[in-house]
């Protein structure tokens, strides 16, 4: 038994060395390429990034077991792409807005409840993918970001599209598979919005503002799977326009 136990500990130690050396090799590569990819490595914490803090432009930590993002990630001053899809993250650091060069933020399949207000400082952000989390309110901190193109909040627990959304600059917004029952008429004032996906929500016909049909720039409006038949929707005043 003692021998078996020693063998088990030896193999565990060897596995740890292999994992550690693997991360170290990736870190050395990242110093040259500016990209650090550590997906599918069963990580439960983010490794020390101090060696690449000034050079890292892409960080991929997807498909691990991370319970949180440490605030040290916010010191990656040149980071443009952050992917932490498919982890166990339930909150984000308040100072995420320090990543002022960030262009894409991908956090799908986690347990995030809300986004930090500091995201309003990310003026270069183009894509926010937050599908399959536990977000309950539409994050108005995304409004006013001048380069934002795509927002995916599908598969969350959002109950309404609120007033204040008129500042959203996104071209495409995906709110499929939420619990939305009301939409503010101000959504019609979103200046660049072309595609709005609202399938599988809790909308009645009364919850769809007339302005969205008649006064918006939306050219693709997806509404299947709500509390009305699409035939009824097609007969609504303003639908033809």
pLDDT in tens, 108-136: 999 999 999 999 999 999 999 999 999 99
- Whether the CB-CB separation of 127 and 106 falls below 8 Å is answered with yes
pLDDT tens readout for residues 149-206: 999 999 999 999 999 999 999 999 999 999 999 999 999 999 999 999 999 999 999 9
pLDDT in tens, 198-234: 999 999 999 999 999 999 999 999 999 999 999 999 9
CA distance 153 to 35: 26
CB neighbourhood size of 3 (10 A): 7
- pLDDT at 21 (0 to 100): 52
pLDDT above 70 (res 4): no
Q: 68: exposed, middle or buried (C-beta count within 10 Å: 0-12, 13-18, 19+)? A: middle
Q: What's the pLDDT score for residue 13?
A: 41
Q: Quick one: pLDDT band at residue 23, thresholds 50, 70, 90?
A: confident
The band of 6, judged by pLDDT with boundaries at 50, 70 and 90, is: low
Mean of per-residue pLDDT scores for the chain: 92
Determine what percent of the chain is predicted with pLDDT higher than 70: 91
What pLDDT is stored for residue 24 in this prediction?
87
pLDDT for the residue numbered 241: 84
Torsion from C-alpha of 76, 121, 198, 158, nearest 10 degrees = 90
35: its two tokens? 């990209």
How high is the pLDDT of residue 20?
A: 57
CA 2, chain centre distance (Å): 49
DSSP E strand stretches across 35-154: 35-37, 58-60, 81-83, 104-106, 127-129, 150-152
pLDDT range class, residue 15, cuts 50, 70, 90? very low
Q: How many helices (H) and strands (E) does the chain have?
A: 3, 11
For the residues 37-46, what does the mean pLDDT come to? 96
pLDDT-based confidence at 22, cuts 50/70/90?
confident
Residue ranges with strand state E in the chain: 35-37, 58-60, 81-83, 104-106, 127-129, 150-152, 160-161, 172-174, 182-183, 195-197, 220-222
Mean pLDDT of 14-43: 80
pLDDT tens readout for residues 50-99: 999 999 999 999 999 999 999 999 999 999 999 999 999 999 999 999 99
pTM (two decimals): 0.90
- 106 DSSP β-pair partners: 83, 129
Res. 1: pLDDT tops 60: no
């Amino acid at each position: 038994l003692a021998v078996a136990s020693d063998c088990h500990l030896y193999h565990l130690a060897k596995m740890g060395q292999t994992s550690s050396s693997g991360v170290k090799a990736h870190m050395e590569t990242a110093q040259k390429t500016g990209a650090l990819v550590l997906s599918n490595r069963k990580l439960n914490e983010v490794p020390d990034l101090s060696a690449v803090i000034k050079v890292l432009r892409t960080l991929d930590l997807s498909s691990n077991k991370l319970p949180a993002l440490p605030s040290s990630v916010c010191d990656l001053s040149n980071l443009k792409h952050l992917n932490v899809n498919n982890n166990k993250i339930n909150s984000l650091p308040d100072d995420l807005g320090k990543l002022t060069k960030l262009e894409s933020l991908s956090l799908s399949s986690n347990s995030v409840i809300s986004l930090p207000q500091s995201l309003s400082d990310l003026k270069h952000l183009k894509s926010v993918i937050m599908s399959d989390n536990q977000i309950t309110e539409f994050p108005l901190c995304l409004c006013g970001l001048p380069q934002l193109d795509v927002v995916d909040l599908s598969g969350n627990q959002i109950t309404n599209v609120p007033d204040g959304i008129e500042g959203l600059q996104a071209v495409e917004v995906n709110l499929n598979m939420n619990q939305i029952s009301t939409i503010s008429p101000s959504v019609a004032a979103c200046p660049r919005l072309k595609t709005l996906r609202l399938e599988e929500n809790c909308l009645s016909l009364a919850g769809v503002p007339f302005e969205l049909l008649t006064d918006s720039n939306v050219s693709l409006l997806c509404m299947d799977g709500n509390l009305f038949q699409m035939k009824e929707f097609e007969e609504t005043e303003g639908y033809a326009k």
